[in-house]
Structure 1
Amino acid sequence: MLDLIIPSLFETLYMVFFSTIFSLLLGFPIGILLTITEKDSIWDKPLLNQILNGITNILRSFPFIILMILVFPISRLIVGTTIGTKATIVPLSIAAAPFVARIIESSLKEVDNGVIEASVSMGATVPQIIFKVLIPEAMPSLVMGITLTIINLIGYSAMAGAIGGGGLGDLAIRFGLYRFQTDIMIVSVVIIIILVQGIQLIGNKISATINKK
């Protein structure tokens, strides 16, 4: 069993790690733009805000399995295949990016308007307000949001196993479902639960530490 579980675990960690990085690279700027382009915000661009809102809402509306199939051509273009862990990183990143954008937007909106207005009155530029006020002030909430993103990506990676994505989800389906090896399915599920619990605990600890500082 270990010969099956260990490689699948590393595949899941590999997918989640890189898809987290790429989804943050895609979603973080969108989340910032959604925040600062609102009406009467620090960079008032309502048309751009509406466009970004529309795109984000559309992408969030797709069930992950359907989105993964739709993104097959992009996966093939980038990594040369539509099956396996590397190919799965592409739809995972695209699926998580709008979720990240909303998490970032929500976290940044928690920052006290008084702090932002004080920065504006002192002549701070938009980039200065973003990087020296909004992000530092929202950091505990941002950490919790990123933690939630990683947990969602673990769930997505398990679903990706249904169409050859690899990882623990693929192992549970191939052996636990199709070959009726219930023990392998149970172990796969338990490992996923442990991963989620561990990541949540780490995220809570980091967020609490930053909040105290």
Structure 2
Amino acid sequence: MERLSLEQYLTQVIWPAFLTTMTVMAWTVLISTVVGFILAVIMDVSKEDGLHPNPLISRVMDFLINLIRSFPFVILMVSLIPVTRFITGSSIGVKAAIFPLCITMSPYMARLIQGHMDQVSREAIEAAKSFGASTFQIIWHVILVEAIPGISSVICFSAVAALNASTTAGMVGAGGLGNVAIRYGYNNFNDTIMYSTVAILVILVQLIQFIGNKIYNKLK
């Protein structure tokens, strides 16, 4: 491999990889949060003491979510290659990484968001019912409002998890910092590059957690 100067390494390798990692992470968090919230609402509404109990829907949702959560990410990503190629047109690259990441993250988001919805006071929900609030109004103006601090912490968790998973995806063709660590660091026996990439990831995680804690403390 051609020897790169520090400036070339930063501008031609690290910066594009950083942008790729952040793009994958941002889209994954956005999509998995939306999908996870929808799934959480369905589970919360259909549970035994929910607004519209439905044991069949509740059991099916539990089974599907637990099934997807039982797959290690790398195995799930590989097993989804035909579906990923059909949907995105490729099995490598940013779009091909985002799809399996969203499939992996959404069930975790759903389970965690539902956990915070479960903590909403039943008295508040019953009071909203007594005033004639619709199911949508109860979900939007009571449950979501009460659960929003916890949901913000879930989003922070998902951002860190998506960053870690996107790094793993980078090792198998998605690009990003994970690809840099393996391709330019490990494969070329360059510990400086490998550990500097790790240091960047550590700083990113600490920054995400710091911002997440600030938002949570402001909302609670």
State the alpha-carbon separation in 2 of the partners of residues 60 and 138 from structure 1: 23
Q: CA RMSD in A?
A: 1.0
State the alpha-carbon separation in 1 of the partners of residues 17 and 214 from structure 2: 28
Question: TM-score normalized by structure 1?
Answer: 0.96
Partner of residue 100, structure 1: 109
Deviates more, 1:34-43 or 1:151-160: 34-43
Question: Residue by residue, what CA displacement relative to the aligned partner does 1:124-176 show, whole Å, maximum 9, x if unpaired?
Answer: 11111100100011110000001101110001011112211211011111122
State the alpha-carbon separation in 1 of the partners of residues 195 and 94 from structure 2: 22
Query: Counterpart amino acid of 1:47?
Result: L
State the alpha-carbon separation in 2 of the partners of residues 203 and 210 from structure 1: 11
Give the 5 Å matches for 1:109-188.
Answer: 109-188=118-197
Match of 1:15 among 4, 19, 24: 24
Partner of residue 57, structure 1: 66
State the alpha-carbon separation in 2 of the partners of residues 94 and 150 from structure 1: 15
Deviating above 4 A after TM superposition, structure 1's stretches of 4 or more consecutive aligned residues are none
Shift of 1:113: 1.3
Match of 1:36 among 41, 45, 49: 45
Query: Counterpart amino acid of 1:77?
Result: F
Shift of 1:78: 2.1
Partner of residue 97, structure 2: 88
Partner of residue 3, structure 2: none
Residues paired across the two proteins, number: 211
Query: Counterpart amino acid of 2:196?
Result: V
State the alpha-carbon separation in 2 of the partners of residues 187 and 4 from structure 1: 12
SS for the counterpart of 1:164 is helix
Shift of 1:34: 1.1
- Look at both structures and tell me which one has the larger radius of gyration over its CA atoms: 2
SS for the counterpart of 1:175 is helix
State the alpha-carbon separation in 2 of the partners of residues 85 and 5 from structure 1: 16
Shift of 1:86: 1.9
State the alpha-carbon separation in 1 of the partners of residues 175 and 193 from structure 2: 15
Query: Counterpart amino acid of 2:48?
Result: K
Shift of 1:40: 2.2
| Structure 2 unpaired stretches of 5+ | 1-8
SS for the counterpart of 2:50 is coil
State the alpha-carbon separation in 2 of the partners of residues 7 and 103 from structure 1: 33
State the alpha-carbon separation in 1 of the partners of residues 34 and 149 from structure 2: 19
| Structure 1 unpaired stretches of 5+ | none
Query: Counterpart amino acid of 1:174?
Result: R
